[in-house]
Homo-oligomer: A and B are copies of this chain.
């Protein structure tokens, strides 16, 4: 292990592995087979221009728990999550935390920033990111005007989600929050109506603390409400992360405050 890496470990910091690809073919492939190509802003660019896209970006691997965006720091980069998961949050001076979102494969990060980031971000498990410096993004948008439109779309999508989350945080009960959370997770797996009443298997990759900070609750309340749902036969819990929604229609009703 190199001296620099040792020093970082001693300082309690794990190094971020930065891969800089140089060979054009490899560059093209990196973007061609990336999940961002399917779902994220990268689909605003034609196949033939992928090399340009790749040359303006770099791949990063972030180890579990490592933070890679500090709230309030000058915002230099955008990111696309290409593997693993990430949590986004804001902090109050005394340490209270609000998780403002979880991001995974294909999600775009960095729009909520003017000159400095309005949020912090940290890997939830090992995460792989694609980084776009602001200057690169500017070159890309001026070359591919369509990309700017795509960025706006992404921002609109995010705004729509936040609108719903504000209602959750401001007006829903603990039961309603957990039910909403479970349905949100369920919607991530299967896009359209799967089967109206079929059980939905979920894997919650985040610890209870994170769920609590996401829903504006305490870890105890999250635990209690999940136990109550289980007792009522609405969900079943096997292992900490593995939850099955047994009665999706009823959970959905609770989420909307109808029960």
Q: Is the CB of B163 within 8 A of A90?
A: yes
Residues of B within 8 A of A141 (CB): 149
Residues of B within 8 A of A171 (CB): 92, 96-98, 216
Q: Is the CB of A159 within 8 A of B111?
A: yes
**In the bound complex, what is the Cα–Cα distance between A90 and B180 (angstroms)?**
15
Copies of this polypeptide in the complex: 2
Closest beta carbon of chain B to A127's beta carbon, Å:
20
Of the residues B112, B152, B169, contact of A169 by C-beta under 8 Å? B169
* Interface members, chain A 99-134 (any B CB < 8 Å): 100, 111-114, 118-119
Residues of B within 8 A of A92 (CB): 167, 171-172, 256-257
**In the bound complex, what is the Cα–Cα distance between A93 and B151 (angstroms)?**
32
Of the residues B151, B155, B157, B167, contact of A90 by C-beta under 8 Å? B167
Q: What mask results when residues 202 to 222 of chain A are scored 1 for a CB within 8 Å of chain B, else 0?
A: 000000000001011000000
Of the residues B96, B98, B112, B160, contact of A156 by C-beta under 8 Å? B112
Closest beta carbon of chain B to A138's beta carbon, Å:
9
* Interface members, chain A 166-218 (any B CB < 8 Å): 166-167, 169-172, 213, 215-216
Residues of B within 8 A of A24 (CB): none
| Cβ-closest chain B residue relative to A91 | B167
Residues of B within 8 A of A151 (CB): 152
| Cβ-closest chain B residue relative to A97 | B171
Q: Is the CB of B93 within 8 A of A256?
A: yes
Residues of B within 8 A of A97 (CB): 171
A38 at the interface (CB under 8 A from B): no
Find the residue from A90, A97, A171 having the highest chain B CB count within 10 A.
A171
**In the bound complex, what is the Cα–Cα distance between A88 and B14 (angstroms)?**
44
Interface residues of A (CB under 8 A from B): 90, 92-94, 96-98, 100, 111-114, 118-119, 141, 145, 148-149, 151-152, 155-160, 162-167, 169-172, 213, 215-216, 256-258
- A sample of 15 cross-chain residue pairs with beta-carbon separation below 8 angstroms, ordered by A number, consists of A90-B163, A93-B256, A94-B258, A100-B163, A100-B167, A112-B162, A114-B157, A119-B163, A148-B148, A155-B158, A162-B163, A166-B169, A169-B170, A169-B216, A170-B215
The 5 closest A-B pairs by CB, nearest first: A170-B216, A155-B155, A169-B169, A112-B159, A98-B167
